[in-house]
Amino acid sequence: MDYVALRMLFGDRGKYLGLVFGITFASMVITQQASIFVGIMSRTFGLIADTTQPDLWVMDPLVQYIDDVKPLRDTYLQRVRSVAGVEWAMPFYKGLIKARLANGRFQNCNVFGVDDATLTGGPAKMLEGSLADLRRSDGVIVDVVGAFGRLARESPAPGEPPVPLRVGDTLELNDHRAVVVGICQVSRTFQSQPVIYTTYSRATTFAPRERKLLSFILVKAESGQAVAELAERIEAATGLAARSREAFQQLTVGYFLRYTGIPINFGTAVLLAFFVGTAIVGQVFYSFTQDNLRYFGALKAMGASNAMLVRMIVLQALIVAHVGYGMGVGAASLFGYLSRRSELAFRLLGEVLVVSAGAVVLITVLSAVVSIRRVMKLEPAVVFRS
């Protein structure tokens, strides 16, 4: 009977392709939109994910996410260092500073200042130069996307592509000279602004003058020291908030989920794909079953039970779901691969594939239920009426 069900499915080529197209469309859009959503959310905590050396980030208790910088007094650094269980605590500056380009235009840049002595918090992957070069006079390290993109110099020849920023080139940050001593690769940020690393003392010189400039304190726990206990000890001693990397990432993502329209926008696209896919597949599957009612009636007349007919319909639905899901996920993956060098945020996780598969199963079940009910109520005599 399984062979008969497959012959019925593949025999009507037009409706079979229509079913596959409906599932392919739904799974592709759901996978694509969910992956872009995950990619955007991942960019919100890109800096936290890249900074792997510290166990804790110490900050003002009112900080809501990574870009919500509330500067601290410099004296807090020594207070944190004095807490038992702290192996080291280093200052970290994060700010948005305008860079003046060679053509006179301005570009906002994310400037990160790391500890002058240890360079803790610096980029992990260097493409040109080394992290130690930050100790050179006026030295800064620029991320590769910014160097080849918004910070690139205009070509002297009209119509030619921009000239990427290279080691040895200079920038002007808030009326201060900065020399590029390295090119690094870091995770993209939510604002997609160019990223510049320098030393903490130099970053505070570049920054507009304020009474407090210490953005965060990066803390490493001593060997054998429980991070959660150390965080409670720091909070009790200083009144600041001490969060692990994972907790800070969750805090940042939670803020964007609660206070921005990103989830609603992407959720609407996913729901639209689900309903459109259900409508297409349901209509085509019902039409397919309607055209084959005489065959189902003949099988019933020959003694086939309702359970056997239901099994045939379920097999047909599963075949369509597998083929359409594979094609849809493949198309979404190809889209992500082709856009890997663009500004598009795309991150395909295993969880996204599970969600997409669940949506496809639900679409298939809803579409098959209508056909199953029609076949269950079918009278065997229908085969003899025409």
pTM to 2 decimal places: 0.82
Q: Strand, helix or coil at 148?
A: helix
Whether the CB-CB separation of 241 and 55 falls below 8 Å is answered with no
- Measured distance CA(258)–CA(342) in Å, rounded: 27
- Measured distance CA(210)–CA(221) in Å, rounded: 30
The per-type count for the chain, helices as H runs and strands as E runs, is 12, 10
> Which pLDDT score, from 0 to 100, does residue 384 have?
54
- Measured distance CA(183)–CA(170) in Å, rounded: 13
- Measured distance CA(215)–CA(113) in Å, rounded: 9
CB atoms within 10 A of CB 307: 9
- Measured distance CA(249)–CA(264) in Å, rounded: 21
Q: How confident is the model at residue 4 (pLDDT cuts 50, 70, 90)?
A: low
As a whole number of Å, the end-to-end CA separation of the chain is 24
- Measured distance CA(40)–CA(32) in Å, rounded: 12
| pLDDT tens profile 282-331 | 777 777 777 766 666 676 667 667 677 777 778 878 888 888 899 999 99
E strands of the chain, at which residues?
56-59, 86-100, 106-114, 125-128, 139-143, 170-173, 176-185, 195-199, 216-221, 241-244
Per-residue exposure over 130-157, b if at least 16 CB sit within 10 Å of its own CB, e if not = ebebbeeebbbbbbbbbbbbbbbeeeee
* Whether residue 386 has pLDDT greater than 60: no
Q: What is the DSSP letter of 102?
A: T
> Which pLDDT score, from 0 to 100, does residue 377 have?
66
Q: What is the mean pLDDT of residues 247-260?
A: 93
* Whether residue 135 has pLDDT greater than 60: yes
- Measured distance CA(121)–CA(115) in Å, rounded: 8
Whether the CB-CB separation of 185 and 144 falls below 8 Å is answered with yes
Q: What is the mean pLDDT of residues 188-193?
A: 84
Pairing between strand 216-221 and 195-199?
unpaired
Whether the CB-CB separation of 197 and 112 falls below 8 Å is answered with yes
Q: If we measure between CA atoms, which residue out of 77, 35, 85, 30 comes closest to residue 58?
A: 77
Q: How confident is the model at residue 96 (pLDDT cuts 50, 70, 90)?
A: very high
Instruction: Count Cα neighbours of 298 within 13 Å in the Cβ-side half-sphere.
Output: 7
Q: What is the mean pLDDT of residues 10-27?
A: 82
Is 81 exposed, middle or buried (CB count within 10 Å of its CB: 0-12, 13-18, 19+)?
middle
DSSP secondary structure letters along 283-332:
HHHHHHHHHTHHHHHHHHHTT--HHHHHHHHHHHHHHHHHHHHHHHHHHH
Partner residues linked to 139 by β-bridges: 179
If DSSP states are collapsed to H, E and C, what string results for 251-270? Answer: HHHHHHHHHCCHHHHHHHHH
* Whether residue 227 has pLDDT greater than 90: yes
* Whether residue 252 has pLDDT greater than 80: yes
Whether the CB-CB separation of 146 and 153 falls below 8 Å is answered with no
Answer with the residue of higher pLDDT: 13 or 78: 78
- C-alpha distances (whole Å) from 114 to each of 82, 167, 375 are 20, 20, 70
